[in-house]
């Protein structure tokens, strides 16, 4: 991979867990594609509507790199990418009523029961779609799996906040993606699901304070032994798991660095894991416990809990 493309089009400010849009598009319509894959659909939409801004979510670094390279060479300015889990992003990154429309094109249906937690078609996911969609915003899905579509319709209907679904079989207007071409060659049916958000969902999602990282002052810190006793042991706190992994010491400057694994538990038995460092530093009259900003993680509940819990252990 050519390093010069790696940060192009990336939108996220991890320190604040917020989206940083180009100023030109702050007041523009915004659309989201969940799992952009090869990027064909996202690029097509962005070129068709240069006055709107298109955000793509993806877990594949290679896919993200490829579309970054295309956007740079074609000078496409209205696409932004985030390398992140979709459930985590919808819950923690985007503000309520942020998008005018959301696209999903041929998500993996995960047909085996043992993989069911990976499916993005349950009611919890439907509620997250509601959260980030504007009233009258649309949701559009292409899939080759009728079962996936049918289960999604049930989940969306259970929210009672979407319009009646419109389901087309082999629609006139196709997605024109690589996977669609693959399924058409196999003579599979293509299904297109479309609906709109009717009303504000009435739920309040916790966003206040998510940008603030706690730091604590303690008067005395005489021994690291209390932390050593819990190294590599899971600390379960609400919907998070904290594992303090290793202690690095700088005796001369009276600084301790605690290597930590911060895990946010997401719906469907999924996890969002981050490696962080927590600093315990001696000052003139006291000690301070704070996040090491060098690694620059997303400021999630698990990161906050890791700092707060450490303070309680050594206080």
Percent of the residues in the chain that have a pLDDT greater than 90, as a whole number: 46
Least confident of 40-54, 96-110, 167-181: 167-181
Q: What is the pLDDT of residues 252-296, one digit of tens each?
A: 778 899 999 999 887 656 788 889 999 998 888 888 999 987 777
pTM of the predicted model, to two decimals? Answer: 0.70
Domains of the chain: 3-196 (3.40.50.150), 216-314 (no CATH)
Q: Is the pLDDT of residue 129 over 90?
A: yes
Share of the chain above pLDDT 70, in %: 89
For residue 219, what pLDDT is reported? 82
Query: Does residue 206 carry a pLDDT above 60?
Result: no
Q: So what's the pLDDT on residue 6?
A: 41
pLDDT at 172: 83
In the predicted model, is pLDDT for residue 50 greater than 70?
Answer: yes
Give me the half-sphere count of Cα atoms (radius 13 Å) on the Cβ side of residue 180.
Answer: 22
19: alpha, beta or left? (left if phi > 0; alpha if psi -120 to 50): beta
The residue among 12 and 272 whose pLDDT is bigger is 272
Q: Residue holding tokens 């349950």?
A: 122
**What pLDDT, on a 0 to 100 scale, did the predictor assign at position 5?**
40
Cα(139)–Cα(286) distance, integer angstroms? 53
What CA–CA distances, in Å, run from 18 to 13, 89, 100, 142, 300? 5, 10, 18, 28, 11
Mean pLDDT on 120-125: 90
Which of the four pLDDT bands, split at 50, 70 and 90, describes residue 210? very low
**What's the pLDDT at 269?**
67
Contacts of 239 (CB under 8 A, 6+ apart): 264, 265, 301
Q: How far apart are CA 254 and CA 258, in angstroms?
A: 13
Residue 158 has pLDDT above 70, yes or no: yes
Mean pLDDT of the chain: 85
pLDDT at 204 over 60: no
How far from 275 is each of 139, 219, 243, 300, CA to CA, in Å? Answer: 34, 28, 10, 12
**CA-based R_g, the chain, Å:** 22
Comparing CA positions, the residue from 265, 268, 264 lying closest to residue 116 is 268
């Amino acid at each position: 991979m050519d390093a010069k493309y790696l940060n192009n089009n990336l939108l996220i400010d991890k320190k604040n867990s917020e989206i940083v849009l180009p100023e030109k598009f702050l007041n523009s319509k915004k659309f989201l594609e969940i799992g952009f894959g090869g990027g064909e659909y996202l690029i097509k939409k962005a070129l068709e509507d240069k006055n709107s801004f298109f955000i793509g979510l993806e877990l594949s670094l290679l896919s993200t790199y490829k579309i970054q390279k295309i956007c740079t060479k074609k000078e496409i300015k209205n696409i932004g990418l985030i390398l992140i889990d979709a459930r985590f992003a919808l819950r923690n990154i985007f503000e309520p009523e942020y998008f005018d429309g959301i696209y999903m094109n041929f998500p993996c249906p995960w047909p085996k029961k043992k993989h069911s937690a990976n499916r993005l078609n349950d009611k919890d996911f439907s509620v997250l779609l509601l959260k980030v969609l504007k009233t009258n915003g649309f949701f559009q899905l292409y899939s080759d799996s009728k079962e996936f579509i049918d289960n999604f319709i049930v989940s969306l209907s259970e929210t009672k906040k979407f319009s009646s679904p419109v389901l087309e079989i082999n629609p006139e207007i196709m997605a024109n993606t690589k996977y669609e071409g693959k399924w058409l060659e196999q003579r599979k049916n293509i299904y297109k699901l479309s609906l709109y958000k009717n009303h504000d969902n009435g739920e309040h999602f916790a966003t206040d304070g998510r940008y603030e990282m706690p730091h604590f002052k303690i008067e005395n810190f005489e021994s690291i032994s209390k932390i050593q006793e819990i190294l590599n042991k899971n600390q379960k706190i609400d919907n998070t798991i904290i594992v303090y992994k290793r202690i690095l010491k700088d005796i001369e400057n009276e600084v301790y660095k605690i290597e930590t694994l911060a895990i946010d538990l997401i719906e469907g038995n999924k996890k969002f894991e981050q490696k962080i460092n927590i600093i315990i530093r001696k000052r003139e009259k006291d000690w301070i416990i704070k996040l090491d900003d060098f690694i620059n993680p997303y400021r999630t509940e698990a990161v906050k809990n890791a700092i707060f819990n450490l303070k309680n252990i050594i206080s």
